[in-house]
Structure 1
Amino acid sequence: MGDDRFDPSGLTALVLDENHFERGIALNQLRMMGFGQVIGAARADEAWERLKQAKPDVFLLEWVERTGDGIDLVRRIRASDELPNRAIPIFMLTTRGRKTDVESARQAGVDGFMRKPISALAMQQRVLKIVTEPQPFVEAADYVGPCRRRQADHMYRGPRRRLEDIVKEAVLEDAADEAEVKSEVARARVAILEKRARELAPGEIRAAARVYVAVMALVEIGELLGDICLKRSAEEMARYIKAQGATDRLDPEVVRTHVAALHQLVHLEHAQAEERLRVTENLKRMVDKKLRHAPASDAA
């Protein structure tokens, strides 16, 4: 089924994420996709009640690394006799991306695994694929969930394949690999920045300095990779930190919001230039707004 035939206006989506900001992003993306109703939950027990009462058609949930609630909830859903639809399409949202994590999620019974932050376009493509082309639901002694087999015709390497086709694919794969390496470098730098931002508190000079060093390293990476949006976005964060200094005006939540947006940026493909530019411009507006209010704080 193509995109033009997919109308989610009569569907309900549920999002479980303990992070209010990131939960809001996912809910807004689902609204933009056209879902008739979107529901948010901050805790696993709250999501469980929503699953029973609202009977959603799609469920997106955060891994919740500290407690493991995400994986446990998926298993509970798949094994449940009290839910109206235990075969509901489930997507795991997480900043984790190790192969073992993906396999753990699949073994628990998820339909899809999305690295956060995920762009609106990527989310739409993943949700569309699962909702319109669902895998058969399997109920076995050791597993309950969507069939884990995947069609792999495009991976066929038999003798009937033409050499020129294989060469073309190799060239495309090399280009894709190079782009992915660059993306991984940027993501690694953002991960370091995120760690530094978690340590930040108002008035802590050393913590503020570590954040500033990390964001300037990201500016340099953006320039080296030729990623103008990444460079400009990191420069905006550096501008905010430098202007506020290690004082009470340096709001850790503003910094962490900026980091979340940078996460989104480094996970957006370069082909999505318009969306990447929108993220960059939104960050500039946020910094402009915060700095306009800084003199008032001084006067107080």
Structure 2
Amino acid sequence: MLSIDPKLEAKLKPHLKRVLVMESNPAYARILVDMLRVIGAEQVYLETDDRRGEMMCEDFDPQVIFCDLKGPTIQGARFVTALRRSNLKCRKIPVIMMASNEEPETIKEARDCGSDEIMKKPFAANDLIQRLGHVFTKAPPWIEAIMYVGPDRRRFNSGAGPSTRAPETMSDGMKRIEQSVRILRAASLQFDTDRKQAKRAITAQLEVLVPACKSITHPEFKSAVAEIFQAYKSSNLSGEMLKAPVAVLARLFKIDEAPKAGHAA
């Protein structure tokens, strides 16, 4: 019998009104749907095809998605990547990936496409409850970059993270600012490659950097952020307009000139 702490159940219930399950294996799908209903899920929709799943995201507006990483008619990584870069209202909701193994390459694929957690099949009730508890009570920061869109990969349940990290001596706030500078640099360098996502990335980083001007008094920092903000408001925003002020920020944070492969940006 599935048991769940009443306090956790009360916290999860508001987030389980609309659940989308994308699983091509009928046995696993049935087990998962039954478990979800036991812990209080109200509407649970099952899809066995990722194309129909995309349409369901628009029509059903789920609050959480369970998605098979690989199946006959489901390519989970492709689906999640497209969801995170879409204009759908649910683009930022938790996605729990399901896979038949926990090999490093499997974990990396699930993490790098933008999913929140990975759950190995066959899974137990405790696995399900633990994953739901993580995504709804310990949600990581959202990363809006160029090469990656999704929850902070350093908080992925595998324990693995990006190859480049801010120095451990930095405060959490300064680490976030340093990461924003890295993402801005990538956005300026790749602006013409994906303008829509570049603008999203710039918007998200300005939401970090503009408030930071209150606590960081360095005149070059404030001047560079102001220049980026003015460029952002311009009707003819381009990557070239961002390069000089972003270079100033990169120098202040001692960020190498060449972005390293595998970084969140």
CA drift of 1:67 comes to 6.3
> How far apart are the structure 2 equivalents of 1:20 and 1:120?
18
CA drift of 1:68 comes to 6.4
Alignment deviations for residues 140-187 of structure 1 (CA, whole Å, 9 cap, x no partner): 0111000112399xxxxxxxxxxxxxxxxxxxxxxxxxxxxxxxxxxx
| Superposition RMSD in Å | 2.4
Alignment deviations for residues 106-130 of structure 1 (CA, whole Å, 9 cap, x no partner): 0100100000011112201111211
Choose which of 27, 30, 33 in structure 1 pairs with 2:33: 27
> How far apart are the structure 1 equivalents of 2:127 and 2:156?
20
> How far apart are the structure 1 equivalents of 2:140 and 2:32?
24
> How far apart are the structure 1 equivalents of 2:146 and 2:58?
24
> How far apart are the structure 2 equivalents of 1:30 and 1:120?
9
Distance 1:72 1:47, change over 3 A: same
In the alignment, structure 1 residue 126 sits paired with structure 2 residue 126: no
Alignment deviations for residues 37-85 of structure 1 (CA, whole Å, 9 cap, x no partner): 111101001111111111111100111255661110011001112x112
> How far apart are the structure 2 equivalents of 1:133 and 1:20?
31
In the alignment, structure 1 residue 78 sits paired with structure 2 residue 84: yes
CA drift of 1:35 comes to 1.2
Distance 1:95 1:135, change over 3 A: same
In the alignment, structure 1 residue 114 sits paired with structure 2 residue 122: no
State the structure with bigger RCO (CA 8 A, min sep 6), 1 or 2: 2
Amino acid at match of 1:97: E
TM-score (norm 1): 0.47
Secondary structure of residue in 2 paired with 1:117: coil
8 A Cα contact 2:12 2:136, kept in partner: no
Distance 1:11 1:52, change over 3 A: same
Amino acid at match of 1:131: F
Partner of 1:142: 147
Number of paired residues? 152
> How far apart are the structure 2 equivalents of 1:37 and 1:67?
23
Distance 1:65 1:7, change over 3 A: closer
> How far apart are the structure 1 equivalents of 2:67 and 2:74?
12
Choose which of 37, 56, 60 in structure 2 pairs with 1:54: 60
Partner of 2:24: 18
Amino acid at match of 1:76: A
In the alignment, structure 1 residue 69 sits paired with structure 2 residue 65: no
Secondary structure of residue in 2 paired with 1:34: coil
Report the structure, 1 or 2, having the larger helix content: 1
> How far apart are the structure 1 equivalents of 2:146 and 2:8?
36
> How far apart are the structure 2 equivalents of 1:58 and 1:151?
16
Which consecutive unaligned segments of at least 5 residues does structure 1 have? 153-300
> How far apart are the structure 1 equivalents of 2:125 and 2:156?
25
Secondary structure of residue in 2 paired with 1:102: helix
CA drift of 1:11 comes to 2.2
User: Which one is further off, 61-70 or 26-35?
Assistant: 61-70
Amino acid at match of 1:85: C
- Report sequence identity in percent: 28
Query: Of the two, which has the highest radius of gyration?
Result: 1
Q: Point out 4+ residue stretches in structure 1 off by more than 4 angstroms.
A: 65-68
Choose which of 102, 107, 110 in structure 1 pairs with 2:107: 102
TM-score (norm 2): 0.53
Partner of 1:297: none
Partner of 1:260: none
> How far apart are the structure 2 equivalents of 1:80 and 1:117?
31
Secondary structure of residue in 2 paired with 1:149: helix
> How far apart are the structure 2 equivalents of 1:36 and 1:68?
24
Which consecutive unaligned segments of at least 5 residues does structure 2 have? 158-265
Alignment deviations for residues 4-58 of structure 1 (CA, whole Å, 9 cap, x no partner): 5414156211100111221111111111111121111010011111111111111
> How far apart are the structure 2 equivalents of 1:103 and 1:90?
15
